[in-house]
Amino acid sequence: MTDSPHYRDPHVSLDPVDTPEAAQEPRTPSEQLHHEHRDERCHVRLRLPFEVEFAKGERYEGVDLSMGGFSVRGAAATPGQRVTGSLLIPSGDTELVIPVEAECLRPAASNVGDSDPLAFKITHVEPGQRELLRRVIRAYLSGNHLSVDSLIQRQDAQTPRQRRTTSSAATSSKGSKAASSTGRYVVFFLALGILILVIAATIYRNFVLIEPSFAAVTAPRIDIRAPGSGILKAHHVSAGDRVEQDAYLTGVNNVNLQTDLVLAEASQQYNSQLIDNLKKSLEKSGTSKVSVANSTQPASGDTVTFDTASPAIAQARMEQFETARQFESSKVSALKARASMNEIYSPCDCVVAWALGSAGGTYIEEGDRIMTLIKTDDEDVMVEALVHMSDISRIAPHQQAYIALGNTSKPLRARVRSVALDIERQPRAGFPEWVRQQQNVASVLLVPETPLPAEMVGQPVDVRFSENAMLSATAEWVWQGGLTAWKAVERLFQSTPDNAEKVG
């Protein structure tokens, strides 16, 4: 700042332009300023209304101001003295305050009759305050009125250099418009290429790949049937429940079976009691005759009669009673086995697909279906497709296929497990009966590479069999992506207020 043209060494004489006498003398060409821009004259002295307030609270009227320093009237200071103060510059109804640290240089040269002004060199000012001071000086140099609004604008006051900047900005704006136009063409041709690619993939997928007549997610089915006639016991199993292996499901209350079991147990107990009584009689009688019952089982409603017989005959009758008791014991075991079959347990870790309600004492016959279970292991849930016989020669085991699910946007790869004409060889849940009645079709089982959840059993899917793996995969991915984009656009169109009113 010390080399500013506003401040000079006190031992150097003033420039003639600063004295009233020199102002009347003509200047030589070397003394004149040539091609000097206003925005570059940041260190020339500028006369503007302002005040200076020092740290002790004294306020003095300012004479002139520049980026390097200022001069005031009426202040008392010695050369070399450092002071701290603030520059107070009016701006409309407000006042700009710029804190500075300055050093007194000398009494300022006065050519307008000022009384003893003092010149100060600014030694320290914050960067933000320095930028504010620069913008104030540029505003006055450009002839604009100083205001807070003009100071907070992004651009400084108008200068010749700024006009050149404006013209360059216009040129760059034209360049940006040209770049924007080129970008629009690029986006247009890119969208056109994607559309052509989607159309080609759709044609290849629908006319080249093998498409089955129907396909759905299936799983092995287990039908639980009634072991005998009777009333179905109450249960809380419903469709969709998961059951573990050996978990209790329900039972059948067979009244006739229970009655036969009670009678067989009573007959067994009757024979056991006859044998015990006959043994006791033989032990007491010795060689005399004993009383022997004439029947091994009680007659229905009749009184049991007894005969007297010799000990040899009584011993033979006791052996008959034991044989009858063994028969009744076997009969009781058989009836208990039949009764245990009426208690039904889960044969696997399965999902209940259907269950017969037990409300109101439901009566069922032997062989009636009570429940249908579905195996849910990863290797059990597969996709079954019905392929026409004209296309079955193009399908072989381990061939690749693609499965399109309704709730996903990307196809799933699968492998052909088996091709069979007998579609009822293994009962599977998820296929309606009317579909299985089609003629000239074969059943193809597909194993997805990604396991499918058991909740999807019965859901129809879209299947395509591939003969060229790479080309088919590309076509399937492109087609699925285009279908997803179309659905997104359709949902967006339906969500607009105008269409919502039309639908309503």
Claim to verify: residue 224 and residue 354 sit in the same structural domain: yes
Q: How many CA atoms lie within 13 A of 42 on its CB side?
A: 15
CB 102 within 8 A of CB 71: no
What's the structural domain count of the chain? 4
Question: Are residues 279 and 237 located together in one domain of the fold?
Answer: no
Residues 385 and 308 occupy one common structural domain: no
- Residue pair 484/409 in contact (Cβ under 8 Å)? The answer is yes
User: Is 329 found in the same domain as 210?
Assistant: no
To 10 degrees, what angle do helices 160-207 and 469-494 make? 120
Whether 10 is in a domain gets the answer no
* Pair (51, 149) in one structural domain: yes
In tens digits, what is the pLDDT along the chain, a chain of 504 residues? 334 444 444 333 334 334 444 444 555 544 444 444 444 434 677 888 889 998 888 888 898 888 888 889 888 888 888 999 999 888 877 888 899 999 998 775 544 444 678 889 999 999 888 888 888 888 887 777 667 666 666 555 555 454 455 555 555 666 666 777 788 888 888 878 777 777 766 666 665 677 788 899 999 989 999 988 889 988 888 888 999 999 999 999 888 888 888 888 888 888 888 788 777 777 776 666 777 666 666 545 555 666 676 777 777 777 887 888 888 888 888 888 888 888 999 998 899 988 998 776 788 898 899 999 998 887 889 999 998 888 888 888 888 888 888 766 677 889 999 888 866 566 788 888 788 777 788 889 999 988 888 888 889 998 888 766 566 666 666 656 666 666 677 777 777 655 545 544
Is the residue at 108 inside a domain?
Answer: yes
- DSSP per-residue codes, 103-147: EEEEEPP-SS--SSEEEEEEEE--HHHHHHHHHHHHHHHTTPPP-
Domain range spanning residue 228? Answer: 220-253+342-372
| CA nearest neighbour of 289 among 302, 278, 303 | 278
CA dihedral for 250, 256, 260, 266, sign (positive or negative): positive
CATH number, domain of 229, equals 2.40.50.100
For 214, counting Cβ atoms within 10 Å of its Cβ (0-12 exposed, 13-18 middle, 19+ buried), the class is middle
Query: For the domain that residue 481 is a member of, what is the CATH number?
Result: 2.40.30.170
Do 274 and 404 lie in a common domain?
A: no
159, 162, 167, 171 alpha-carbon torsion, rounded to 10°: 180
Question: Per-residue DSSP letters for 182-233?
Answer: HHHHHHHHHHHHHHHHHHHHHHHHHHTSB--SEEEEEEEEEEEE-SSSEEEP
Same structural domain, 139 and 69: yes
Is the distance from CB of 257 to CB of 229 less than 8 angstroms?
Answer: no
**Among candidates 211, 225, 279, 124, which has minimal Cα distance to 444?**
211
Are both 22 and 137 inside the same structural domain? Answer: yes
